Amino acid sequence: MARRIAAGAAYGGGGIGLVGAAAVGLFLAEVQLAKRSVGGNSAPVPPPGDGLYGMPLSGHTGLPPLRLGMLGDSTAAGQGVRRAGQTPGALLASGLAAVAERPVELRNVAQPGAMSDDLERQVTALLRDPARRPDVCVIMIGANDVTHRMPATQSVRHLASAVRRLRTVGAEVVVGTCPDLGTIEPVYQPLRWLARRVSRQLAAAQTIGTVEQGGRTVSLGDLLGPEFLANPRELFGPDNYHPSAEGYATAAMAVLPTLCAVLGLWPESDRLDASRDEDMLPVAKAAAEAAAEAGTEVTGARGPWALLKHRRRRRLPTLPNAEPTPTEAHRA
């Protein structure tokens, strides 16, 4: 199914449905009930996190700052927390600065409520200034595509186009694929099963589309599922929909190893570790397996093959000052 969705996106297909009309009707009815419970409109506006992280490191190496771009929806923007340092962009920028031992300039153009068709605007905004083009970008997108019934082929086409544009200007790209909407507390059966199925199918198709454009993916999936079941009040924010600071830190810990690896910073080889169920598989199979297991990285190898890796997560490196220092461009 994931291959069909991705192929339809690549070749202009748009009629591939994920579920039947009756199931879609049920899905929409229960989504409205779930929205009343989760209070999606009550989350605070994401704090702006743009700026320099790791400023004390600027005189340490003499190297210019790495430029990190964040794109996507409310998860990428950090909706649900009140401090800039708690957003995923800030967490990743701080962690990247600590590992690279050089400052990182974060520009976050993610938009709460965005679907994949907003990525074109976001990429344009990020690339508007040729002197500040990013070295690496993280995209988190897909949840709103599911809840707003955007055709999966259309969703993947927009994502693949964004990855292609970023790769064309030399930026590395890491995509956090569609999260498992079946883990949200107020979502009940049969919507929970349907949400999980649709989310995973879209995540797998996103992986295929991203890898074919030269990017890497990290499956967010049900990353917060086990922790949420054990202690939901710590991992979800006050609206019971967006992650809390602890939830965003959990997601950032999964993405940071791949972010560092794509820049050649992570002290871990790309050799496959059979003890960790790592393998080289056809892209579609790797995408399906990654969608079923959160935290799994997929990167292109040779031809139709991809590497499936489970990088070791480590605690996020901390900096003395986790809040951003505005740059001259931000002050202007």
pTM: 0.84
Residue 16 has a pLDDT of: 35
The catalytically annotated residue of 94, 118, 222, 242 is: 242
Residue 272 has a pLDDT of: 75
The catalytically annotated residue of 73, 74, 222, 244 is: 74
Please state, as a whole number, how many other Cβ atoms lie within 10 Å of the Cβ of residue 264: 8
Which is it for the CA torsion 102, 254, 77, 239, positive or negative? Answer: negative
Annotation says 242 is catalytic = yes
Residue 35 has a pLDDT of: 54
Find out whether 247 and 226 touch, Cβ atoms under 8 Å.
no
Taking the C-alpha atoms of residue 127 and residue 125, their distance in angstroms, rounded to an integer, is: 6
Classify residue 214 as left (phi > 0), alpha (psi -120 to 50) or beta: left
Residue 15 has a pLDDT of: 38
The catalytically annotated residue of 117, 239, 273, 279 is: 239
Q: Report whether the peptide linkage leading into residue 64 is cis, meaning its omega lies within 30 degrees of zero.
A: no
Residue 14 has a pLDDT of: 41
Annotation says 60 is catalytic = no
Residues contacting residue 110 through CB under 8 Å, at least 6 positions apart: 70, 71, 72, 73, 74, 75, 76, 77, 89, 122, 140
Residue 198 has a pLDDT of: 84
Find out whether 178 and 142 touch, Cβ atoms under 8 Å.
yes
Taking the C-alpha atoms of residue 58 and residue 52, their distance in angstroms, rounded to an integer, is: 10
pLDDT in tens, 79-133: 878 889 889 999 999 999 988 989 999 999 999 889 999 999 999 999 999 989 9
Residue 210 has a pLDDT of: 96
pLDDT in tens, 10-19: 555 443 344 4
Closest CA to 293 of 278, 305, 283, 280: 278
Residue 106 has a pLDDT of: 96
Residue 108 has a pLDDT of: 96
Q: Which residue has the tokens 């999936």?
A: 221
Spans of the chain, pLDDT less than 50? 13-19, 21, 39-41, 227, 234-237, 331-332
Please state, as a whole number, how many other Cβ atoms lie within 10 Å of the Cβ of residue 149: 15
Provide DSSP, 241-290: SSB-HHHHHHHHHHHHHHHHHHTT-SS--S---GGGT-EEEEHHHHHHHH
Q: Which residue has the tokens 């990285």?
A: 297
Residues contacting residue 136 through CB under 8 Å, at least 6 positions apart: 66, 67, 68, 69, 171, 172, 173, 174, 259, 262, 263
